């Protein structure tokens, strides 16, 4: 398996050439600065590095100037001899100028000098400037340049930074990289796709579930909901928003697929590759992978998101345990099946809700019209489309995209056709949940889809017991898998799931109702019974007002 390589997130305000420009004196090249560059690289941060060990001349190159202008964040490593280098001082002056003009961030690091020594140019910095002033005392232009260097030192040294003298370099570097990551991280709700609406409140609610009374607690939260409702989108937005707060973060975007293609080891390797920015981990068995996860994650505050988990054994085999991650870590598991989440032992479950009408309309308009409002003449058709999609984001996007650019008559034709032939792109996503059911639960699902959406639960249970389907456990499983819900004593199924169930019944013989296992339409029932052929597969038919409707159908034929 080829593990994905995680690229750094660049600012959306400008096409920056580099994430970071590091200004440093050669004396730190083989120790602190080298470790800093390595840490930035591990976290996917693209840093410009000037590898010229002995710069020639007194004027920095045009290429170096462009590198400074093209970097989003500046790190300045002040060391004992920093001010003795005119090259470093010219870099600093340019950095200070860019910071003031364009707002690029500057992070000062005081390696073996105090902030005051840099700010007021005392000690070694005073001696360095005495030499500069003596050297250029007969050159008015260069003396003005020296004064510019002094102002730049004072300006940058006054900024909040890190005094790393006599401190653990590795610990301080981790803090620096964390701050750089935070600066580079985009604003999640403003930078995501224009197709995404109604996520502000769910993100805030989910963030509340991640909060713990103790900063040391490890918290595990589940996200569940029916297919196409926006679980993965919500998890992605949350990840972009909070990942910078953690020492290590990783998002496995399709656990079910990766597990099916490459087994649990494939998921574990993807997890490790993302977390530690390595192209591959040479691990060939689950035991070794579990050991590496435990030893590498245990000392760190980590964020792990596992998307599309569809079987409990996947979590069991992955061996991602809360006791194997550092204090303050968060694990988020996304699944259609709430039972999987509860079995794993999550602290809370966030159930993603359908869009409200306002957000459903806004999303549909963006897909169908490329505006935030309905085009004149399409008002009634838009209402019909939204009624069909019933606030499900996936259905709204697919339907809106299909209708974009089409005329009113084409819209009318398409919406009529959809009632008989639901969109395959939508049903394929929902079908995944149905295919994962055991045979008994499939039968219960089909009965509800064909006959009972919105019916009283007690009545439904009585019929299902007569059918021999053990509804008490069967209904619970369908609820856990986000295929139905309970509401005031009734069984509720989304219109798209109802259409899925009916399409499953029709799929083998779409134009021959007598071959179906269930008949819910009086017309289809009448057609099936009018034929002089046995309905061999028929298990159940619609009962209410059967005789009355049959008589109506027969009268209409004479």
- CATH assignment at residue 48: 3.40.50.10140
Same domain, 343 and 215: yes
Same domain, 347 and 362: no
Same domain, 117 and 56: yes
Same domain, 226 and 346: yes
Same domain, 24 and 170: yes
Last residue of a domain, one of 299, 323, 351: 351
The label of the residue with tokens 């003009």 reads 101
For 444, the token pair is 């219960």
Please state the separation of Cα 426 from the chain's center in Å. Answer: 21
- So what's the pLDDT on residue 5? 32
- CATH assignment at residue 327: 3.40.50.300
Last residue of a domain, one of 140, 165, 183: 183
Same domain, 306 and 237: yes
- Taking alpha carbons only, the member of 399, 486, 483 closest to residue 447 is 483
- Other beta carbons within 10 angstroms of residue 536's beta carbon come to 7
Asked if residue 153 belongs to a domain, the reply is yes
- Taking alpha carbons only, the member of 502, 505, 483 closest to residue 493 is 483
- Please say whether the beta carbons of 116 and 122 come within 8 A: yes
pLDDT < 50 stretches in the chain: 1-14, 52-57, 187-192, 545-551, 553-558
pLDDT digits (tens, 9 = 90+) for 256-269: 999 999 898 988 88
- So what's the pLDDT on residue 531? 65
Rounded to whole angstroms, how far apart are CA atoms 150 and 281?
Answer: 48
pLDDT digits (tens, 9 = 90+) for 221-275: 999 999 999 999 999 999 988 887 887 888 998 999 999 998 989 888 888 887 7
Rounded to whole angstroms, how far apart are CA atoms 427 and 429?
Answer: 5
406: containing domain: 357-421
For 533, the token pair is 């052929």
Report CA-CA distances (Å) from 253 to 6, 235, 267, 297, 441.
Answer: 13, 10, 10, 19, 28
pTM, rounded to two decimals: 0.68
Asked if residue 475 belongs to a domain, the reply is no
Same domain, 95 and 198: no
Same domain, 341 and 361: no
Asked if residue 457 belongs to a domain, the reply is no
- Other beta carbons within 10 angstroms of residue 550's beta carbon come to 14
Residue 186 burial (10 A CB sphere; 0-12, 13-18, 19+): middle
Report CA-CA distances (Å) from 413 to 361, 366, 393, 499, 539.
Answer: 21, 21, 22, 19, 33
Query: Would you name the residues annotated as active-site residues?
Result: 91
Same domain, 347 and 361: no
Q: Which residues contact residue 40 at a Cβ distance below 8 angstroms, ignoring those fewer than 6 apart?
A: 19, 20, 47, 177, 180
Same domain, 344 and 397: no
Asked if residue 90 belongs to a domain, the reply is yes
Query: Starting from the edge strand earliest in sequence, which strands make up the sheet with 302-306, in order?
Result: 248-252, 302-306, 330-335, 219-224, 348-351
- So what's the pLDDT on residue 551? 44
Same domain, 274 and 291: yes
Same domain, 375 and 264: no
Last residue of a domain, one of 351, 377, 393: 351
Asked if residue 163 belongs to a domain, the reply is yes
For 38, the token pair is 């390595």
Asked if residue 71 belongs to a domain, the reply is yes
Domain count of the chain? 4
Report CA-CA distances (Å) from 112 to 127, 167, 232, 402, 421.
Answer: 16, 10, 47, 63, 73
Asked if residue 97 belongs to a domain, the reply is yes
Asked if residue 334 belongs to a domain, the reply is yes
- So what's the pLDDT on residue 423? 84
């Amino acid at each position: 398996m080829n593990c994905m390589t995680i690229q750094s997130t660049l600012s959306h305000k400008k096409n920056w050439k580099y994430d970071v420009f590091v200004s440093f004196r050669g004396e730190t090249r083989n120790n602190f600065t080298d470790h800093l560059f390595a840490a930035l690289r591990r976290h996917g941060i693209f840093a410009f590095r000037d590898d010229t060990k002995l710069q020639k001349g007194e004027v920095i190159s045009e290429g170096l100037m462009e590198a400074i202008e093209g970097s989003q964040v500046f790190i300045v490593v002040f060391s004992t001899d920093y001010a003795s280098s005119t090259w470093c001082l010219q870099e600093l002056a340019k950095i200070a100028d860019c910071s003031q003009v364009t707002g690029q961030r500057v992070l000062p690091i005081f390696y073996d000098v105090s902030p005051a020594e840099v700010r007021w140019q005392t000690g070694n910095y005073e001696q360095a400037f005495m030499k500069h002033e003596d050297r250029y005392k007969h050159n008015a232009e260069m003396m003005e340049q020296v004064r510019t260097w002094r102002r730049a030192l004072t300006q940058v040294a006054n900024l909040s930074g890190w005094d790393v003298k006599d401190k653990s370099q590795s610990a301080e570097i981790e803090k620096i990289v964390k701050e750089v990551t935070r600066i580079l991280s985009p604003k999640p709700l403003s930078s995501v796709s224009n197709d995404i609406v109604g996520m502000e409140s769910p993100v805030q609610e989910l963030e509340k579930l991640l909060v713990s009374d103790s900063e040391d607690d490890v918290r595990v939260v589940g996200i569940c909901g029916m297919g196409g409702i926006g679980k993965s989108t919500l998890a992605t937005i949350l990840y972009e928003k909070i990942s910078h707060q953690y020492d290590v973060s990783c998002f496995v975007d399709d656990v079910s697929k990766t597990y099916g293609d490459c087994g649990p080891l494939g998921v574990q390797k993807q997890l490790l590759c993302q977390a530690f920015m390595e192209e591959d981990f040479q691990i060939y068995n689950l035991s070794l992978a579990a050991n590496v996860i435990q030893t590498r994650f245990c000392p760190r505050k980590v964020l792990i998101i596992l998307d599309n988990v569809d079987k409990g054994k996947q979590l069991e085999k992955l061996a991602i345990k809360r006791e194997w991650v550092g204090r303050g870590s968060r694990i988020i598991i996304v699944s259609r099946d709430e039972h999987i989440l509860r079995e794993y032992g999550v602290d809370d479950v966030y159930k993603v809700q359908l869009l409200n009408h306002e957000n459903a309309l806004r999303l549909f308009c963006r897909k169908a019209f490329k505006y935030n409002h309905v085009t004149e003449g399409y008002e009634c058709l838009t209402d019909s489309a939204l009624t069909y999609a019933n606030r499900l984001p996936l259905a709204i996007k697919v339907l809106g995209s299909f209708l974009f650019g089409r005329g009113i008559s084409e819209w009318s034709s398409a919406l009529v056709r959809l009632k008989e032939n639901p969109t395959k792109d939508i049903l394929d996503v929902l079908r995944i949940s149905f295919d994962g059911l055991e045979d008994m639960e499939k039968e219960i699902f089909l009965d509800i889809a064909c006959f009972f959406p919105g019916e009283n639960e007690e009545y439904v249970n009585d019929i299902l017991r007569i059918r021999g389907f053990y509804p008490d456990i069967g209904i619970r499983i369908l609820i856990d898998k986000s295929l139905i819900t309970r509401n005031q004593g009734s069984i509720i199924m989304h219109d798209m799931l109802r259409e899925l169930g009916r399409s499953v019944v029709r799929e083998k013989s779409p134009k021959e109702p007598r071959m179906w296992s269930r008949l819910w339409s009086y017309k289809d029932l009448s057609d099936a019974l009018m034929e002089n052929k046995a309905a061999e597969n028929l298990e159940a038919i619609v009962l209410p007002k059967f005789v009355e409707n049959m008589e109506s159908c027969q009268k209409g034929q004479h």
